[in-house]
Structure 1
Amino acid sequence: MTFNYFFPLVLVILSNLIYHITAKNTPNNINSFLSLTVTYVVGAIVSVLMYFIISKPSDVLKDINKLNWTTYILGLVIVGLEIGYIYMYRVGWNISKGSIVASISVAILLVLVGTLFYKEIIGMYQVSGIVFCIIGLILINLH
């Protein structure tokens, strides 16, 4: 296993950690959608800069024409994800519970999606993992 294998995982973990801390600390007295707008402007600037730094584009219009539906749907669901977490924290979810409940729930659903749509194999270890995740969800939500 190399740096190229683990770097994306570490990036996701650190980004998620900072993301949840930041979402939890987004002030309640500001408009969430205005906050997201500024967030996305910053993200757009960083993305454009990285595009030009990393890809050495020869023709931006050709690259734009290569985009498909996934780019647009991802944009829509990212807004739902962001506003969902901000609202979760605003209505009182603890940072320690909200993220893990959402993540475990998504993980369980992704096992099913992987099996049904991507022909991934589910074995007894995965079934056991799902059962333990469900038990974990129950336990973490007990007072």
Structure 2
Amino acid sequence: MNIYWPIALIVISNIFYNICSKQTPDSINPLASLTITYIIGAITSGVMYFVLNRDGNLLREYNHLNWTAFVLGIAIVGLEAGSIYMYKAGWNINSGQLLYSSILAIALIFVGYFLYHEVITWTKVVGITICLIGLVFISK
């Protein structure tokens, strides 16, 4: 299996995600808008499940759920509402996303270290430093 298709899917989806977040009308509460987003997302997930699993049994799959699906749902609301509110607050599409992505990259290095015992190498320390320098330039 090609290891790059998930990255391409993330990039393409994220482009549309940011465009849609920025274009959400000011006249609607972001959380109201997200109710439609999640209905469409649930329908799309269901259709794709059955397209990719011809003999699939969605109810049987639910027996394998754990806490992650529920917490992920809450996290996704935070991500999407945060993005919409970020753009409503006046952030540009090119700097707002870069700012939170840089902060996120730094935070995930520490999450990887503390939760998954991943090694923090000198190259990662240099990467953190570059991110911090980039944040200074982005904020100017």
TM-score, shorter chain, exceeding 0.5: yes
Give the AA of the match of 1:29: S
Match of 1:128 in 2: 126
Q: Work out whether 1:139 is the aligned partner of 2:137.
A: yes
Change in Cα spacing, 1:58 to 1:44, as seen in structure 2 (3 Å) is closer
Match of 2:25 among 24, 27, 35: 27
Q: Return the offset for 1:58.
A: 4.7
TM-score by length of 1: 0.93
Q: Return the offset for 1:22.
A: 1.0
Query: Aligned Cα RMSD in Å?
Result: 1.2
Task: Measure, in 1, the Cα distance between the counterparts of 2:88 and 2:40.
Answer: 23
Query: How many residues are aligned here?
Result: 140
Match of 1:8 in 2: 6
Structure 2, unpaired ranges of 5+: none
Change in Cα spacing, 1:91 to 1:57, as seen in structure 2 (3 Å) is same
Match of 2:88 among 64, 87, 90: 90
Q: Return the offset for 1:57.
A: 4.3
Following TM superposition, the consecutive aligned residue runs of length 4 or more in structure 1 with deviations greater than 4 angstroms are: none
Structure 1, unpaired ranges of 5+: none
Match of 2:60 among 59, 62, 65: 62
Q: Return the offset for 1:55.
A: 1.9
Task: Measure, in 1, the Cα distance between the counterparts of 2:23 and 2:79.
Answer: 16
Match of 1:18 among 2, 16, 19: 16
Match of 1:36 among 34, 53, 69: 34
Q: Return the offset for 1:56.
A: 3.0
SS at match of 2:28: coil
Match of 1:53 in 2: 51
Task: Measure, in 1, the Cα distance between the counterparts of 2:56 and 2:86.
Answer: 43
Change in Cα spacing, 1:138 to 1:50, as seen in structure 2 (3 Å) is same
Q: Deviations over 1:17-55 (max 9, x none)?
A: 111011101110012122101111111100000111112
TM-score by length of 2: 0.95
